[in-house]
Structure 1
């Protein structure tokens, strides 16, 4: 596949509008590429416009499958008037490819597709399965990943590469992300007689004050550091002269492997019980999204392999081992296989993901394809002995 063909695949994907959905159109485009080359592919459709896709090449190995994964959806386009290049045009200008999803993460997705195609076209003989998994809904709820996980997609995976934009850096650990809601119930009354009511907002204030120090004693994770947490949204009251009978808030917490999702949930529930016992209002806690942290040792042989290969491709930058406070579909997949080595590795430019004038660079995109191919070929080498996470 020549350079222009590779660029066209990416620009075609950018032109398909998959803002928080419409993944079926992406899956059908990718499936057509694979079928043209006799690569086994399956579209896992679960709604009118929603779908996952699974493709694989090779044959079973004792090391398990090497899986490349990426999501097909993008975030919405905000501030459209500030885009210098139309967000769904896939314009290529001065070595950059512009558009929503160019970085996050249609460039990584396209690179993974081309990796399988070129491994077949170049007739590489490797003893193992290389699998490609394209998911739906990662940007809001990871519906596709949860669906695939329930179908047993991880059972034979020996290592996982997530193609999110990292600018070539190797991410070996990332936090989880737990979104929650707290509802507060009180009793309405006229504001001239507040004692006759129960102020639901006061219940939220009790929790907000407690939340500021709720995780102060949580142990720091050796890779991810301390648990990060914030109250991010609050709603309450209907008019200025009434005591509100209902109010709600939303918060986000970034769990670590050292202080994980279950521990965080237990602590919040215990705090809610104490607040309810002490006050007249009643608080209710519920989980909105629950993504788990991942962490593979930076000394893991798979992590080191990826760093070595990426460093050989990138001569314009230092390739480091890093951690982030984001979350990916790996947060879902590791729940059913917690010891699976995982890395996040993708092209430019992670600083512009979700931003106006999002872009990737042609050079990094092409380099990522070569990196993925070399990882696939090296993974099944007898010299690579996988270590536990």
Structure 2
């Protein structure tokens, strides 16, 4: 009921699971208190330093088959406190809106998952197959929770996967990949008054950046994600204004469409560097991959999407498909599991990671119903 939904949501917002420390174990403890029954399996995966992930297994009629619903426990930082008009961890309400850091990303979605799991227990019925409700740590940074669940074999045999994220109830079928490249280029230093005695490493670095961007020229536009992109997000040279730097280091954030193979793309980057180096513009350029999240995508005519369409229609909910320009745990789980997936949840992506973040309680309850029906529509 609505009072239960509000109480769970407010408690989750009040429990601070803020990066970089996470402290997700505090949220895990609260979630466990909501499920005292012995009939539900509870798997706590301890990551140390008060960080943990959790898997709740609702047993199905056919215990040999399983689906998974996954959402993350951690949130980003509050940011500049003066920009908030609501207490970041006060869980204040205004009508059906509930405010706080992580309200949309992802305490609202977690509440939907918990309501769905509780609904199965309260009904006295079993879903057709096992349903794994996965609550992961560290999604916002390194994906520790998702990687550990995979490595521990907890998701072995999962046939379908729903990832809960704030999509405004839209159904996400594709997600851009991310490659963060730290490039360190070296040349010859000189006095800025005599630049001909050195190499203009900064200009060469920008030339490299432009050539990498142009690797996506002619790429066909994706219906949900648009185009791949490459953005220079930081650059550092010499602190002295009158010195041409010997070394320039910068970071490029590359976002890729589902057809892009990251290994092939990195080979192309190395080819660009090799061709430029032969011209003598610089001595060396080392590339370090500091984040590698592959893109993922689903077919528009998949049975999973058809199933979700029917659920939305039965609940008189309007539906549309969308794509995620940012990475989620899907980039870790989907390639490893190789199963059909979709991303959906309460909360608008335009309002998460913002001051006065909020989620609509009605939307939280609607998505809880979708998650419940999704598990119930499985054929044993």
Aligned match of 2:296 in 276, 294, 297?
Answer: 294
Equivalent residues in 2 for 1:39-188, closer than 5 Å: 39-59=40-60, 61=62, 64-188=65-189
Deviation sequence 1:319-346 (CA, Å, 0-9, x none): 11222322210110122122x1110110
| TM-fit CA distance, 1:348 | 2.3
Alignment of 1:23 with 2:21, yes or no, is no
| Bigger shift: residues 277-286 or 104-113 | 277-286
Rounded Cα–Cα distance in structure 2 between residues aligned with 1:138 and 1:18: 11
1:309 equivalent among 308, 311, 321: 311
Question: Structure 1 residues 6 and 93, CA, compared in 2 at 3 Å: closer, same or farther?
Answer: same
Question: In 2, distance between residues paired with 1:151 and 1:219?
Answer: 38
What is the deviation of 1:219? Answer: 4.8
Structure 2: segments with no counterpart, 5+ residues: none
Check conservation: 2:175, 2:258, Cα contact below 8 A.
no
Distance 1:347 1:222, change over 3 A: closer
* 1:284 aligned to which of 283, 286, 299: 286
Cα pair distance change 1:290/1:175, threshold 3 Å: same
Q: CA deviation at 1:32?
A: 2.5
Deviation, structure 1 residue 248: 1.3
Q: State yes or no: 1:367 paired with 2:366.
A: yes
Q: Distance in 1 between matches of 2:158 and 2:4?
A: 30
Which segment drifts farther, 123-132 or 272-281? 272-281
- Would the aligned equivalents of 1:115 and 1:369 in 2 still touch at CA under 8 Å? yes
Distance 1:347 1:106 in 2: 10
Superposed displacement of residue 264, structure 1: 2.0
| 1:346-385 mapped onto 2 (5 Å cutoff) | 346-378=345-377, 380-381=378-379
Shift of residue 305 of structure 1? 1.2
Moved more, 35-44 or 202-211: 35-44
SS in 1 for 2:17: coil
Contact 1:154-1:333 at 8 Å conserved across structures: no
Aligned partner of residue 161 in structure 1, secondary structure: strand
The match for 1:386 is none
Q: Which moved more, 1:294-303 or 1:269-278?
A: 269-278
Please report the TM-score for the alignment, with normalisation by the length of structure 1. 0.90
Query: Deviation digits for residues 356-375 of structure 1, max 9, x if unmatched?
Result: 11111111111111111111
When residues 34 and 271 of structure 1 are mapped into structure 2, their CA distance, relative to the original with a 3 A threshold, is farther
Structure 2 SS opposite 1:30? helix
Partner in structure 1 of residue 270 of structure 2: 269
Supply the distance in 1 between the matched residues of 2:350 and 2:210 (Cα, whole angstroms): 33
Q: Distance in 1 between matches of 2:207 and 2:249?
A: 12
Deviates more, 1:358-367 or 1:248-257: 248-257
Aligned residues: 377
CA deviation after TM superposition for structure 1 residue 287, in Å? 1.0
Instruction: Give the corresponding residue for 2:208.
Output: 207
Distance change (3 Å), C-alpha of 1:219 and 1:270: farther
Partner of 2:330: 330
Who is 1:8 aligned against? 7
3-state SS of 1:138 partner: coil
| Alpha-carbon separation, structure 2, partners of 1:64 and 1:225 | 36
Q: Output the aligned Cα RMSD.
A: 2.1
Higher mean C-alpha deviation, range 249-258 or range 365-374: 249-258
Q: Which runs of 5+ in 1 are unaligned?
A: 383-389
* SS of equivalent residue, structure 2 residue 88: coil
Instruction: Tell me, in whole angstroms, the C-alpha distance in 2 between the residues paired with 1:194 and 1:265.
Output: 32
Answer whether contact 1:203 1:281 (CA < 8 A) is retained: no
2:63–2:130 contact (8 Å) kept in structure 1? no
Distance 1:201 1:357, change over 3 A: same
Q: Name the structure 2 match of 1:387.
A: none
Match of 1:250 in 2: 251
Cα deviation per residue 1:14-34 (whole Å; 9 max; x = unaligned)? 111112122121122212222
User: CA separation in 2, counterparts of 1:60 and 1:328?
Assistant: 31
